Structure 1
Amino acid sequence: MKQSLILPLLLVLVLPAVPATAQRSTEVQLGTTAEAWAKTPILVNMLDVLSGGMQAVEAADLVQEVLVSDLGLSGLFLPAMRDVEGDTLEYEFAIEGSVEGPLRDAELTGEDAPTVLNLNLVTWPGRQLLLNKRYRPLPHQQRTSAHHFADQVIEMLAGEPGICLTRVVFSRGAGDRRDLYVVDYDSEGLMRLTANRTLNLCPSWSPDGSRIAFTSYRQSGQQGLFGLDTSNGKVDLIIAVDGLNLGADWHPNGEELLVSLSHKGDPEIYRIRPDGTIIKRLTVSSAIEISPSWSPGGRDLVFTSDRTGTPQLYIIDSDGAGRRRLTFEGRYNDSAVWSPGGDRIAYATREGNFTQIVVMKATGENRRVLTDGRWRNAEDPSWARDGRHLVFASDRTGVFKLYVCDVLEMTFRQLTFGDDPDITPAWSR
């Protein structure tokens, strides 16, 4: 939990040292389905290969596989690769299309040549065309094309934003060396973002995904808040005052951030600009006040304060007025994040000897614990933009890895794998 970062020395997060070799799997069987949610059966037919030989066949197989995975992970559909005789499901829709190529332009040959993907969403079995998209991806772009079409299908049929093109940034490593990594929402495309032999923690995406703010000791060992340009990897300093520079969260308009600074005593919440200019100090107390998170409209923020003796959640207006306590259950509540719809807040709470993930209404009512003791510690939740999925870190295997929860169906899947601890995830918007 982010609160642990303000312990003495402010350097090392205490994580379990027990190694665990994680095996890639599709689901973690710890959830229970509280209610059967209606899902739309949809066929994802094999794509016709019109030209291009084995490369086109492989592209067709990959695109079909990604589409089936995306629609299934959305929680909204029951995808199938073909209409099997005797299948009792009544399909209303189908995806079909074709692959051509690879094309050979003047400077592109062989494996570097693009294919042409023609993808259609149709009614079934009538095959009335509802959506058509044509893509011309290089081999490494084929997954992206499939993700894009899946998002289009989800938005058209469910009226909700898809998350197939979203990514999760997080901190990976042990001891005093942790770097930022990013991974696609479906565990593919893992990429390292920093490599500076120090701590890089608590990343936060800008609304347009062009920048990631994060806390690091990369500048002469002093803690500071930095910004990473996602287009070229360039890192620049945002602010580095004495003491804490922690817990950045971007305003929905992308023009300012919330951050906890302690250069004038105990950690307090500030609004700052992306160039580090302090706009306003929002809290004034002798308590520790950290982990701020904007509401979707940017009018309010939720944060953690120990002003009553234990860390609890509070809400204030964007000008620092109207303080109201949100949590009264639990002796340790932290890392609150507002859902994209603004109606719910997820956070981490201490239950017995472990921390768990909780979701409640933004009013503090209808508190629901998503995880339990079988997860050991579950921390640092972050919402997907669909408001249905949460990513969080847990050491259920003995080492912290990232997991995704479908909060409607209460199903879980592991997102990251490997032996190094993964912490402080943030889902792109």
Structure 2
Amino acid sequence: MLDISTEETELLYSSVNKIAFLDLNKSGDTLAFSQQYINDNNESEEICTLTVEDKVITRITDNNFWDIYPVWAPDGTRMAFLSWRDKGFDIFTMEQNGHNQEKLYDSGHHDADIDWVGDRIVFTAESRIWIMPDNGGDPVPVTEPPKAGLWGKANLPFGDYDPRLSPDGSRIAFERLEDDTSPHGNYNIYIINTDGSGEIRLTDTGYSQGIVSWSHKADKMVFVVAAIEDAGKYDIYLINADGSGTENITPAYYPTIFLCHTPVFSIDDSRIFFIGQWYE
């Protein structure tokens, strides 16, 4: 956890196994994430929670599937998550204790990058952003990026990824893969209204960047710059919601082999929760 003003960093939890993604519940007291488990030569990834104050870890799912990308329901009683139980990742829901796991939606393609605000869920499929009611009703596309789904020289097809709804549910922030001159992909950050209108490009750097998270006041966002051209970075950046004031807020005392992933704001927007990885 990083204090934005003082740059003080606090370790909340550590594991030798892979930890991925973070989502903070609306009360601001519990984080959800996924963690890798290896048992009897069978590798899986499971949903876990971590209480912020007393640092209690709870394993929520326990199976042989890949359960990833947990997001809290607005009331904190349920979660949506991605699970590979058939031919690819589909969207599931469950109670916060892991009970009553149900498939919510299967597009027939690779579903990914979910977020949940109000009574709507956004996600990525076919390299586009989609939105649907949280009861699993028919989704509608929000974006139609150029060359969506076409493969170039990057590690993903051209298109839009990692949608994040604003706190009031009216706008979506996401990254768009626009070029492939870098093997990591050249992305820029965008925002768009949930009805598909008002698309605005916030950055023009073309870095390998994304995984945006809104502040609770909706005036700022944080995201990760994973690479600039061929140079790996994994730094945390802060940007105003209008695209101004972009700055790298990664403390200078972090070693270059310490990589930052999936930053999210604390409930008062003064601190950043993130996953730190020591790169070997």
Aligned residue among 191, 197, 211 for 2:64: 197
Match of residue 311 from structure 1:
187
Please say if residues 330 and 350 of structure 1, whose CA atoms lie closer than 8 Å, have aligned partners that are also in contact.
no
Larger relative contact order (CA 8 Å, sep ≥ 6): 1
Q: Does 1:33 align with 2:6?
A: yes
Match of residue 260 from structure 1:
124
Match of residue 216 from structure 1:
83
More strand by share: 2
More helix by share: 1
Please say if residues 224 and 239 of structure 1, whose CA atoms lie closer than 8 Å, have aligned partners that are also in contact.
yes
User: Partner letter of residue 73 of structure 2?
Assistant: S
| SS in structure 2 of the partner of residue 242 of structure 1 | coil
Match of residue 68 from structure 1:
none
Deviation string 1:237-281 (CA, Å, 9 cap, x unpaired) is 111222221111112x2x11011112xxxx211111223222421
Aligned residue among 200, 216, 239 for 1:360: 239
Structure 1, unmatched stretches of 5+, are 1-26, 36-72, 74-162, 399-429
Deviation string 1:282-303 (CA, Å, 9 cap, x unpaired) is 0113232110011122221111
Match of residue 249 from structure 1:
115
Q: Does 1:336 align with 2:196?
A: no
Provide the rounded CA distance (Å) in 2 between the counterparts of 1:33 and 1:385.
Answer: 17
Structure 2, unmatched stretches of 5+, are 13-25, 149-157, 181-185
Provide the rounded CA distance (Å) in 2 between the counterparts of 1:284 and 1:32.
Answer: 38
Provide the rounded CA distance (Å) in 2 between the counterparts of 1:168 and 1:226.
Answer: 18
Match of residue 173 from structure 1:
36
Deviation string 1:61-106 (CA, Å, 9 cap, x unpaired) is xxxxxxxxxxxx9xxxxxxxxxxxxxxxxxxxxxxxxxxxxxxxxx
User: Partner letter of residue 169 of structure 1?
Assistant: A
Change in Cα spacing, 1:164 to 1:337, as seen in structure 2 (3 Å) is closer
Deviation string 1:128-167 (CA, Å, 9 cap, x unpaired) is xxxxxxxxxxxxxxxxxxxxxxxxxxxxxxxxxxx98610
Match of residue 284 from structure 1:
144
Structure 1 stretches of 4+ moved >6 Å: none
> Which protein shows a greater Rg?
1
Match of residue 82 from structure 1:
none
Alignment of 1:99-114 (within 5 A): none
TM-score, length basis structure 1: 0.51
TM-score, length basis structure 2: 0.76
Provide the rounded CA distance (Å) in 2 between the counterparts of 1:166 and 1:395.
Answer: 23
Alignment of 1:21-100 (within 5 A): 33=6
Deviation string 1:312-331 (CA, Å, 9 cap, x unpaired) is 11111111112111112352
Q: Does 1:384 align with 2:266?
A: yes
User: Partner letter of residue 315 of structure 1?
Assistant: I
| SS in structure 2 of the partner of residue 283 of structure 1 | coil
1:396 Cα deviation from its structure 2 partner: 2.9
1:368 Cα deviation from its structure 2 partner: 2.0
User: Partner letter of residue 90 of structure 2?
Assistant: G
User: Partner letter of residue 341 of structure 1?
Assistant: K
What RMSD, in angstroms, separates the aligned Cα atoms of the two structures?
Answer: 2.7
Provide the rounded CA distance (Å) in 2 between the counterparts of 1:171 and 1:279.
Answer: 26
Provide the rounded CA distance (Å) in 2 between the counterparts of 1:278 and 1:362.
Answer: 30
1:339 Cα deviation from its structure 2 partner: 0.6
Alignment of 1:391-402 (within 5 A): 391-396=273-278
Change in Cα spacing, 1:325 to 1:368, as seen in structure 2 (3 Å) is same
1:34 Cα deviation from its structure 2 partner: 7.2
Q: Does 1:271 align with 2:125?
A: no
Provide the rounded CA distance (Å) in 1 between the counterparts of 2:198 and 2:99.
Answer: 39
Alignment of 1:183-194 (within 5 A): 183-186=50-53, 188-194=55-61
Deviation string 1:345-391 (CA, Å, 9 cap, x unpaired) is 01011353221111111112212212256162211112222112221
Please say if residues 357 and 369 of structure 1, whose CA atoms lie closer than 8 Å, have aligned partners that are also in contact.
yes
1:31 Cα deviation from its structure 2 partner: 8.8
